[in-house]
Structure 1
Amino acid sequence: MATITEPKLISGNANKQLASAVARRMSMHRGMNLGLVDARVERFNDGEIFVEVFENVRGEDMYVIQPNSNPANDNLMELLIMADALRRSSAARITAVIPYFGYARQDRRTKSRTPISAKLVANMITGAGVERVLTMDLHASQIQGFFDIPVDNLYAAPIFALDIQHHFKKRLENVTIVSPDVGGVGRARELAKRIGSPLAIVDKRREKPGEIAEMTVIGEVKDRTCIVIDDIVDTAGTLCKAAEVIMQAGAKEVHSYITHGVLSGPAIERVTNSVMKSLVITDTIEPTEATRNAKNIRIVPTAPMFAQAILNTWNGTSISSLLHTDTLLPIYEGTYSPI
């Protein structure tokens, strides 16, 4: 008689908190313990990465949970080496769960003699033996086409919509969604449609890279509660400047919902001292202690969505169903009250 095998999870060092949370959620759904596969991911004295898997994975459906966050190169190499170890151990299928896809901002040639690093990373991941990728909010949707394997790109917008409807439910009619640039209008429009709010745009013009010459608000924000939507917050300079411009245009208050909290360099200090009342990020990148302790930064979990997406991939059911509120709300039961 054929045995029914369960999906198996393995994690690198990039975000073990998220990996453990995903394992707990899947254990609850399956009614059995689905802990992380016992393995060690270590470094030799010269920085080389070594992986050893202590459990039998022959014929198993493996899911490697590893965002390519800071340090991006080390975490990427961990992912590649884990995939190689699993492939050489005869795993039946290897899915890379990459909550934050590093190098995604290098998705095209911006000038002569520059690389398309996102494509190079895609080639490396495929070459390591990965057969499917599961990620969230790719910086550019065309990156899915860089892979010659299936790529499922989850979206934080449904989670953000639930969070906004929960925390702003008594003043939702006064909320305006704001895109911090023209390139992010599609993302902002999708969220605005979900919660039935109007849309505004911050148009910015750069004189040279890293410097913002001028910002202008397009749309009505006066006396409105404005929510800025974006996929990545890095040093937070542009975000904090956009919040100032929105407030100068007459907004009542400004909040931000950003999927990937890179938060490098002076970002935490900037956000703490900014006019923003709150910055909401997800845990696709493991939050630092400073991030957790920041007075106006809040973290929403992605483990329920990733756990269900992994289960849907494993049993061959729809991933796109997770984009609907009716499907997502029960997954986040206990986190948000019914809308």
Structure 2
Amino acid sequence: MTLINLYPLPGNEATAARITQTLRARGHDARVATCEVHRFPDGEALLRLDPPAPEAESVLVCTLDHPDAKTVPLLMAAATLRELGTRRIGLVAPYLAYMRQDARFAPGQAISARVYAALLSAHCDWLLTVDPHLHRIHDLGEIYTLRAHALHAAPLLADWITRNVSRPLILGPDRESMQWAEDVARRVGAPLVILDKTRLGDSAVRISVPDLTRWPGHTPVLIDDVISSGRTLIAALEHLRTQHTPPPVCVAVHGLCAGDALPAILAAGAARVMCSNSVAHAATPIDLTGLLADGIVTMLATP
């Protein structure tokens, strides 16, 4: 049986431990290996890893919120594992950064999604992530040259809604959320409404909400892939308050919840905010561990 070494970058130790426990419970030889990052006063990083056995699989675990601070140690870890003779290097990044800027919207702009994909592809052999923000790029294979696979959290979101919300009305806060909202609504067997959003800036949006009186007594459930500043959800919640619906619930895959996003969403009228544990946040998490463990087994089974 091949040993699976999971190397968690700082802040990812709990995720790696949960995945390791799940893999071992399913009969796989897995362990958490050391990946230490020391920061010098000038901000440079010194990295130390448990040397891998040549026949072992090396899997880096690093969710990529706040990616600028995390990427250099991550690339150092991958390069060092390669130098130490590991057979192949996987990256489990439950949240994958730099998918927003997938085109050049003004002269001279970097297409960050492609730049970042080139960096990770140069150092790792495969990538496993959860629901990346695919919009104009429809598949990770369009920009990543390594083997890249996106897992989908919709079944987990739908299961939570089924168990915790009676008579849900699924709302997608904008057109980009349709792929997640539509999937969840189908699984739950609930009506679906997609709202209209106009972005006015990084933290300013305008939302148009149709008349929801045709679904009396239904609890609005706002579904999105990422909660970042929270301003899209807040704008939608303010409109829902004028329609006197039951207190809405907000459910997202990735809860980045930058700044005051979470308290601001609750203050705007959300009864609950639920996100997966792809990143650490104060909202009650929907656990991705089993999904990630299954994904690792699938990636390792492919030559």
* 8 Å Cα contact 1:8/1:61 also seen in 2: yes
Q: CA deviation at 1:259?
A: 0.9
* 8 Å Cα contact 1:200/1:221 also seen in 2: no
Give runs of aligned pairs for residues 157-168 of structure 1, distance below 5 A. Answer: 157-168=154-165
For residues 51 and 72 of structure 2, the distance between their equivalents in structure 1, rounded to whole angstroms, comes to 21
Any idea what SS the aligned residue of 2:182 has? helix
For residues 254 and 135 of structure 1, the distance between their equivalents in structure 2, rounded to whole angstroms, comes to 28
Counterpart among 37, 46, 57 of residue 41 in structure 1: 37
Give runs of aligned pairs for residues 105-254 of structure 1, distance below 5 A. Answer: 105-128=100-123, 130-140=124-134, 142=137, 144=140, 145-168=142-165, 171=166, 174-208=167-201, 210-217=203-210, 220-254=214-248
Match of 2:56 in 1: 60
Deviation per CA, 1:158-215: give whole Å up to 9, x if none: 11111112223xx2xx211110001211221111111111101121224455322452
Change (3 A) 1:208 1:18: closer
Change (3 A) 1:63 1:110: same
Unpaired stretches in structure 1, ≥5 consecutive residues = 292-296, 318-339
For residues 153 and 254 of structure 1, the distance between their equivalents in structure 2, rounded to whole angstroms, comes to 29
* 8 Å Cα contact 1:221/1:249 also seen in 2: no
Match of 1:51 in 2: 47
Match of 2:13 in 1: 16
Change (3 A) 1:210 1:235: closer
Q: What RMSD, in angstroms, separates the aligned Cα atoms of the two structures?
A: 2.0
For residues 59 and 113 of structure 2, the distance between their equivalents in structure 1, rounded to whole angstroms, comes to 21
Q: CA deviation at 1:87?
A: 0.8
* 8 Å Cα contact 1:104/1:118 also seen in 2: yes
Change (3 A) 1:53 1:208: closer
Q: TM-score, normalised by structure 2?
A: 0.92
Deviation per CA, 1:61-109: give whole Å up to 9, x if none: 2111101112x21111222111111111111111111111111212222
Counterpart among 286, 289, 294 of residue 300 in structure 1: 286
For residues 154 and 311 of structure 1, the distance between their equivalents in structure 2, rounded to whole angstroms, comes to 13
Identity percentage of aligned residues? 22
Deviates more, 1:272-281 or 1:54-63: 54-63
For 1:203, give the aligned amino acid.
D
Change (3 A) 1:138 1:214: closer
Change (3 A) 1:198 1:284: same
Deviates more, 1:278-287 or 1:237-246: 237-246
Match of 1:332 in 2: none
